[in-house]
A and B are shown apart, each in its own frame.
Chain A
Amino acid sequence: MKKFLTAVLMAGAFVIGAPAANAISEAEIKKDIEEFQNFFLKRFPGVTLAEYSDGVNALPQYAERRANWELLMEFPPYETEMDKAAEEWVKPFANGKTFDDCDLAAGNVYPVYDAATDDLRTLVGDINACLKANGEKPIRNVKVGKMARLIAHYRAQFNGQPMAVDYSQAGAQKWYEKGRQFYWAKRGQLNFSCANCHVQNAGNKIRGDVLSPGLGHTSGFPVYRTKWAVAGKPWGTIHRRYGGCNKQVRAKPFKAQGAEYKALELYEAVMNTGVPLKVPSQRQ
């Protein structure tokens, strides 16, 4: 009997301890990517991986409104803002340096895992770190306006390059696992996971709107949104969008640039491996 109890206890301990003990491997992540991408490629035959950088506009279910979007793109509403960003980017700091002197990774490889701090570096975080290092005040609002504009300017220089986030280190894999949990877990009073809408129901209609596919979610950010433009703040970083999504399912949003959204950004970016960057994106 005692032997049996010990066996049961040990089995229990194994089950509880398993996720922490056996972290997800690089091969398993590769398999995740393949499954995730194949799901969409099968569901929307004829839409290529690269076309997902157009977000919801890539889907046949959105064809009617795509024409509208294409017309809008003839004179993109963000053009003057992009000119402004280009000026802001080269405007010298007090020490004479500019953002060009910042130590940034390529626009298609963020978030970057930093083994020294066991943390994820986002482009937003790196821009503020650079400002600080040069004796400038960091940008306080990391979700809208100037910050989003600056990263739009920087990332746009890498347009066309496929997303390629490095997940080879064990530390990065832990962050990935955290993000994956976030993506697939139900939350909020309405009990939705990210995947409920953007995997299971991608392309389906929620009232009159079409749900965007999870494939293509990070390659277009920051986004210039018509809905946000109405309220005077058209730009948004991906963490702004995460906060909005969480609110819509009646969950308390997490802090922009906090651990939860950084992990989620990593997971989404990894799922989008190979999707070319197309920044900025205009969405409704």
Chain B
Amino acid sequence: MLRFRNILAAVSAVLLLGLASSYMPIAAAGDLPTEKGCKTLKEADSVMKGWCAAITRRKGNCLSCHQAVVDNWPATLPPGGNIGPPFVAMSARFPNSEDLRAQIWDPTVKNPNSSMPPFGKHKLISEKDIDNIVAWLSTL
């Protein structure tokens, strides 16, 4: 019974994805959603939520300063800035995700003159958003 339910969930997820992509004619199949696509995203795991929080201007707005190296970059999304280091090999650079979380929460701890805003300390985004962004970054 449980297995059947899992299959059902997987099938409906695929159907949902198919529906979602048909609503976004510009994005190629398999591309990550753009900021607009994120708004209409119904179901998302923490990695996808993290991607959305990272690229959304009113949230992390990470692309303002960082470029991200991902395979399925949406064609219509411009690359990020170059103020901060690009998001590459994040899991190798931060083997302990708690360190990465602390860096996002308040980068001035490690470097008082950092240009990066203290996202947690200044409540720029929610703690949940930070968790999700860490989840996404850890996949890179």
The count of residues in chain B whose C-beta lies closer than 8 Å to any C-beta of chain A is: 16
Answer whether A200 and B115 are a contact pair too, CB < 8 Å, given A190-B124, A191-B122, A206-B64.
Answer: yes
Interface string of B114-140 (1 = CB under 8 A from A): 010110001110000000000000000
The answer to whether B122 touches A189, judged by C-beta atoms less than 8 angstroms apart, is yes
Q: Among the listed A189, A192, A200, A206, which residue makes an inter-chain contact with B81, where contact means beta carbons less than 8 Å apart?
A: A206
Interface residue? B38 (CB, 8 A): no
Known: A192-B117, A207-B63, A207-B80. 6 other contacts (CB 8 A): A189-B122, A190-B124, A191-B108, A191-B117, A197-B115, A207-B64
Tell me, rounded to whole Å, the shortest Cβ–Cβ distance linking B28 to chain A: 22
Are A207 and B81 within 8 A (Cβ)? Answer: yes
Closest to B67 in A: A205
B124 in contact with A207 (CB, 8 Å): no
Q: Can you offer 14 A-B residue contacts whose CB atoms are under 8 A?
A: A189-B122, A190-B124, A191-B108, A191-B117, A192-B115, A192-B117, A196-B113, A196-B115, A201-B115, A204-B82, A205-B81, A207-B63, A207-B64, A207-B81
Q: Which 4 A-B pairs have the closest CB atoms?
A: A205-B81, A190-B117, A196-B115, A206-B81
For window 8-22 of B, CB contacts with A under 8 Å fall at none
A/B pair count, beta carbons within 8 Å: 38
Residues of B within 8 Å of A200, CB to CB, are 113, 115
- CB contacts (< 8 Å) of A208 on chain B: these are 78, 81
Which applies to chain A's interface (DSSP): helix, strand, loop or mixed? loop
| Per-position binary interface string of chain A over residues 83-113, scored 1 when its CB falls under 8 Å from any chain B CB and 0 otherwise | 0000000000000000000000000000000
Whether B82 pairs with A205 at a CB distance below 8 angstroms is yes
Min C-beta distance of B84 to chain A, whole Å: 9
Residues of A within 8 A of B68 (CB): none
Q: Chain A residues near B124 (CB, 8 Å)?
A: 189-190
Contacts of B122 in A (CB 8 A): 189-191
Residues from chain A with Cβ under 8 Å of B64 in the complex:
206-207
Indicate the size class of the contact surface on chain A: 10 to 19
Closest to A200 in B: B115
Is B65 within 8 A of A206, CB to CB? yes
Q: A-facing mask of B66-91, CB < 8 A → 1, else 0? A: 00000000000010111100000000
Shortest Cβ distance from residue A272 to the other chain B in the assembled complex, whole angstroms = 23
Minimum CB–CB distance from B86 to chain A (whole Å) comes to 12
- Residues in A neighbouring B81, C-beta threshold 8 A: 204-208
Complex Cα distance, B85 from A204, in Å, reads: 12
A186 to chain B, nearest CB (A): 8
- Nearest CB on B from A201, distance (A): 5
CA distance A43 to B82 in the complex (A): 16
Looking across the interface, which residue of chain B has its beta carbon closest to that of A196?
B115
Q: Complex formed: what's the CA distance from A196 to B112 in Å? A: 11
Residues A174-232 near B (CB distance < 8 A)? 189-192, 196-197, 200-201, 204-208, 211
